[in-house]
Structure 1
Amino acid sequence: MSEQAERAVTIAEFCNRYAIGRGTFYNMQIRGEAPDFFRIGRRVVIPAASVKAWEAKRLQPAQ
């Protein structure tokens, strides 16, 4: 995987990547469906591993 895909992303970058709004992200967070994230100073980031885990939960096997 490329270096870009392996780095932590901001909430805005995550929302842009998956074509969802920030409001949708925060609603997902309230429901416990958003990827884990943490703060670095004032910046909120989502680690690449959390993004991968979030994607894996949503992948459904072909029927």
Structure 2
Amino acid sequence: LGLLAEYLYDGRDKDRAPPTALEDDIFLGVRLALNDPQDSSALVGAVVDRRSGAAIVFVEAERRLG
């Protein structure tokens, strides 16, 4: 089990830089690796905008076949 956290910040001059979606956001997530022969894992995370509170939530899972 792994806990993930990241701060996303764009420090460029707002008058000269193009608009971006991740100007002042926080990412939080959890990764679960099962350590089985198929290398199964899952990732759940969210990116939250600190100004508006808007969030993008995602779930990702993978497993090897064969």
Common fold by TM > 0.5? no
Answer with 1 or 2: which has the greater Rg.
2
TM-score (norm 2): 0.23
More helix by share: 1
TM-score when normalising by structure 1: 0.24
